[in-house]
Amino acid sequence: MANTEDVKNGYFKCDWGQLHYRSVNLDSKKPLLVMLHQSPLSSRNYQAALPYLADHFRVVALDTPGFGQSTPPNRVWSVQDYAKIALRSADALGVDQFYLFGRATGGVFAFVAALLSPQRVEKLVLHGMPVYTEEERTDRLANFAPPYEIDDDAGHLRWIWDRIHSEYPWINGHLATQFCRDFLNAGPDFATSYRSIWKYDLPKGFAAAGSRLPCPTLILGGGADRIAYMHERVRALFPDADEVFVPEATDFVAEQNPELFARIVGDFLAS
């Protein structure tokens, strides 16, 4: 296993700005694994897991544009625009075929990337994949993530802290502090990438692709995940996918149990 100091930070230069990443083994010839995080967080979610994945893969975990340390898009992006960052990163590394992982918002981007270039994505892992009804998407667009206002008395910091704890009542102070950092990096309008997936009809997009998975796919779920109730929807939508369900796992198993997370992902990709 690699050490945490072996995790490197870097940037890909893109037409809209810089795409930040965390990586291990980037100069090796090992199979490439591209990882996409959930919003409004960052590739920091995978910092602890990257050393465990390093035995078998070269890994690049991307910060979605506008999040972490990546430059925001210079216009409103669609799901397809966000999905292409996975393909762009592989292009920048000179890699044709690669593995792809996505969590939540990043799972939608990963899935769409595989639909766009099924010949390039060899295997796909979808962790906590959100499948919204039309009514849920409409409600989320209207109500879920309004921008916050920066107050001179730092009231926005309390608003962020309270929002994090309302979504994850179990969270400890260390992890909540990291989430606050990600929220602040995203800025007051932290829902830019959210809106792209709420405007995207995932079941309709899958049907348009013939209702066939573009490549071997694993759906990973957790019983303590905030969107655990959507896991059965994912199973129904993707009946041909492999499945791993960890009853005790939260949204952040990659941070809380990185060894288990890396073993699940690695076993599927290497199988």
Q: What is the pTM of this model?
A: 0.97
Q: Beta strands 217-222 and 121-127: pairing type? A: parallel
pLDDT at 85 over 90: yes
- For all residues of the chain together, what is the average pLDDT? 96
Quickly state the pLDDT bin for 271 (edges 50, 70, 90): confident
Tokens 């994912």 -> residue? 234
Q: Where are the alpha helices (DSSP H) in 47-133?
A: 50-53, 79-92, 105-116
Instruction: List CB contacts of 27: < 8 A, sequence separation 6 or more.
Output: 58
Instruction: Please confirm whether the linkage preceding 40 is cis (ω < 30° from 0).
Output: yes
Measured CA to CA, the distance from residue 221 to residue 125 in angstroms comes to 11
Q: Beta strands 242-246 and 217-222: pairing type? A: parallel
Query: 167-213: per-residue pLDDT in tens?
Result: 999 999 999 999 999 999 999 999 999 999 999 999 999 999 999 99
Instruction: List CB contacts of 65: < 8 A, sequence separation 6 or more.
Output: 16, 17, 19, 71, 72, 73, 77, 82, 85
Q: Where are the alpha helices (DSSP H) in the chain?
A: 50-53, 79-92, 105-116, 134-143, 155-167, 173-186, 192-198, 202-208, 231-237, 253-256, 258-270
**Domains contained in the chain, CATH given:** 4-134+192-270 (3.40.50.1820), 146-190 (no CATH)
Half-sphere exposure of 36 (CA within 13 A, CB side): 35
Measured CA to CA, the distance from residue 188 to residue 142 in angstroms comes to 16
Q: What is the pLDDT of residue 4?
A: 76
Measured CA to CA, the distance from residue 137 to residue 199 in angstroms comes to 7
Q: What is the pLDDT of residue 236?
A: 97
Q: How far is CA 7 from CA 49, 201, 260, in A?
A: 10, 36, 19
